[in-house]
Amino acid sequence: MDKIRINDILNFSKEEIPNVRVKFNIYNGYDDPLELYKTDPDEVNIDWFLWRDRRRYFSVGQTAICFLKIGNDTWLMTCIKTITGEKKVDETNGGVGYEAQDDARYGKYFGRLVLRYHNPCRTMGRTYASVMDDLEVLEILNDQFTGEDFPGYENVRLSYRQLKNVIDRHLPGWIAALQNQKAVYLITDNKTGKLYVGSATSQTGMLLQRWSNYIADGHGGNEALKELVKKQGFDYVKENFQYSILENYNARMDDEYILRRESWWKETLRTREFGYNKN
């Protein structure tokens, strides 16, 4: 069976091809762009892709394609942009050296087009013409790549940024699992080790709504967490809080039973004495 190459999908003309460049984004020894993309795609599509130092990956007027390594010889096409200008690189823009606009013709493929390509060297910037025949299309995902499939209720353990990503990007598997679920959950302060036990019931809008409240303001209405946010700031929560599930129940479970289980966990973990629970 004939392989499908990238230009079978993008269909750049012979006249356009010389003006197209690509950039392969890989681990730089400090940060993994794949992990950044899972949380905020713009960190790759802007901060990494449009970054430059002395080298100029692109020129004004060129079409630029961003590839993100997601596996061994496996790449995700995250965006295609037209370079519209250059910016002076300094501390104010964090090294983002180009102005660019997404090419709307290809928007439906952003974060969905998965390709195979063996990168024989660590050179990040290439001409499209030099690699287009080696970029084999593996699949077009049904939804944008998130890298975060729902792992099952017993394996949920999310940082604030990961939970915010789930909610803001409305990740399908996660949203379906959380929106009609009642639960007893645990919030962990990874800096101090303090714990908070809470519950999600029909009265609080189920687990998705309850956790959305924490993402919105850091405290979700809890008095001790309000005091913490007021004293330490919202950024403290963003940097240090972790969310997990102790027990989960379907929507038919009686709220009173869940509240009793919440109290049992508070007593077991002694979160009233040593954590953030006040009741």
Residue 145 in any domain: the answer is no
Shared-domain flag, residues 209 and 100: no
Mean pLDDT of 42-57: 84
Q: Count Cβ atoms below 10 Å from residue 181 Cβ, excluding itself.
A: 19
Of residues 278, 253, 271, the one with CA closest to residue 185:
271
Q: How many helices (H) and strands (E) does the chain have?
A: 11, 11
Whether the per-residue pLDDT at 54 is higher than 70: the answer is no
**The total number of structural domains that make up the chain:** 2
Shared-domain flag, residues 132 and 11: yes
- pLDDT recorded at residue 4: 96
Range of the domain at 130: 6-140
Residue 13 in any domain: the answer is yes
Shared-domain flag, residues 62 and 157: no
Burial 129-157 (b: 16+ CB within 10 A, else e): bebbeebbbbeeeeebbbebebeebeebe
Residue 279 in any domain: the answer is no
- pLDDT recorded at residue 171: 82
What is the CA 108 to chain-centroid distance, rounded? 18
Residue 202 in any domain: the answer is yes
Shared-domain flag, residues 103 and 167: no
Shared-domain flag, residues 84 and 133: yes
As a residue count, the chain comes to 279
Shared-domain flag, residues 112 and 159: no
d(CA 90, CA 97): 9
Mean pLDDT of 139-162: 87
Per-residue pLDDT tens for 123-137? 688 999 999 999 999
Alpha helix segments (H runs only) across 11-136: 33-39, 41-42, 128-131
Shared-domain flag, residues 107 and 196: no
| SS3 label, residue 23 | strand
Shared-domain flag, residues 72 and 165: no
Query: Model-level pTM greater than 0.75?
Result: no
d(CA 149, CA 129): 35
d(CA 151, CA 173): 9
Q: Which residue, 140, 161, 178, sits at the end of a domain?
A: 140
Contact 170, 195 (CB under 8 A): no
Residue 26 in any domain: the answer is yes
Shared-domain flag, residues 165 and 241: yes
Shared-domain flag, residues 112 and 191: no
d(CA 74, CA 69): 6
Residue 147 in any domain: the answer is no
Of residues 174, 194, 176, 178, the one with CA closest to residue 186:
194
pLDDT band at residue 92, thresholds of 50, 70 and 90? low
pLDDT band at residue 143, thresholds of 50, 70 and 90? confident
Residue 146 in any domain: the answer is no
Would you give the DSSP letter of residue 254?
Answer: -
CATH number at residue 205: 3.40.1440.10
Contact 278, 272 (CB under 8 A): yes
d(CA 84, CA 97): 11
Shared-domain flag, residues 136 and 157: no
Q: Which residue, 105, 140, 175, sits at the end of a domain?
A: 140
Residue 96 in any domain: the answer is yes
Shared-domain flag, residues 193 and 84: no
Least confident of 35-39, 72-76, 237-241, 275-279: 35-39
Report residue 8 as tokens: 């079978």
Residue in the structure block whose two tokens are 């008095």: 223
Q: Which residue, 140, 172, 193, sits at the end of a domain?
A: 140
Contact 264, 178 (CB under 8 A): no
